[in-house]
Structure 1
């Protein structure tokens, strides 16, 4: 899994050191990563063979010729760049991907389980508090729903249903 958050810098050639913990056979990123402009956010998304398999499965569930399938194929397959590590564990990000994601010199690598994202540091810092608030709200709502379900299953007097 891709876990944790790392602050890094792109050098003048747009090379980015990928954390050693991310470069494993377990996540399919032992020799390199697949990288593309994120479908969800203004950042880059990357991962190994497991991420590729997730997208392929999602795309193949849709019928051939379906407009959503074609949009996913155009975005994921056509936007895809397989990037191999150099001897130092770095990938070189294509200029067009850096421009699309608005990446400056300072970036953040954000582990998300089966994938990771590469954000411009300022953009990530602006987003982080908002996302924590959303996660906090989701956990709170889930807890309240579980408590209500538990209470609904009990009869007066404390006996279970």
Structure 2
């Protein structure tokens, strides 16, 4: 899995050092990664062979000609760029991908399980704040649902004992 958050420098040639923890056989990224504009956020999404297989399975589960399949094929297969590591563990991001998500100088590499994202540092800060807000809200809702369910169980037990 891709875990943790790293700030890294994007040099003048758009080379980016990928954390050593991300370059493993377990996640399929020991030789390189594939990268494309994220579907869900204003960043780049990247991963290894395992992530590619997961996306491929999702796409192939949809019928040929389905508009959602076509959109996913275009967004993932069509915009994907395979990137090999150089001898120092760096990838070179294509200029058009950097321009699309406004990457320059300092970037944030953000591990999110089966994939990782590459963010503009300022956009990352706003995204992180929103994700934390949503996580708090979701955890609160989960706790309320759990209390309600426990209350229903207790009421059913009390009703059965009467």
Alignment TM-score > 0.5, same fold: yes
- Residues of 1 paired with 2:15 and 2:6: CA distance? 15
Cα offset, 1:126, TM superposition: 2.0
Cα offset, 1:113, TM superposition: 0.3
The aligned residue for residue 58 of structure 1 is 58
Q: Kindly indicate whether residue 96 of structure 2 is the aligned counterpart of residue 96 of structure 1.
A: yes
Cα offset, 1:17, TM superposition: 0.1
Q: Once superposed, what is the RMSD of the aligned Cα atoms?
A: 1.6
Secondary structure, in 3 states, of the residue corresponding to 2:26?
coil
Tell me the TM-score normalised to structure 1 length. Answer: 0.95
Given the superposition, is the C-alpha separation of residues 156 and 96 from structure 1 closer, same or farther in structure 2, using an over 3 Å criterion? closer
Deviations 1:33-54 (A, max 9, x none): 0100001111000000111011
Tell me the TM-score normalised to structure 2 length. Answer: 0.95
Q: Which has the higher helix share?
A: 2
Aligned length: 161
What residue ranges of structure 1 are gaps of 5+ in the alignment?
none
The aligned residue for residue 43 of structure 1 is 43
Q: Kindly indicate whether residue 2 of structure 2 is the aligned counterpart of residue 2 of structure 1.
A: yes
Given the superposition, is the C-alpha separation of residues 46 and 157 from structure 1 closer, same or farther in structure 2, using an over 3 Å criterion? closer
- Contact 1:153/1:160 (<8 A) preserved: no
- Contact 1:154/1:160 (<8 A) preserved: no
- Choose 9-18 or 127-136, whichever is displaced more: 127-136
What residue ranges of structure 2 are gaps of 5+ in the alignment?
none
- Any runs of at least 4 consecutive aligned residues in structure 1 with deviations exceeding 3 A, and if so which? 156-161
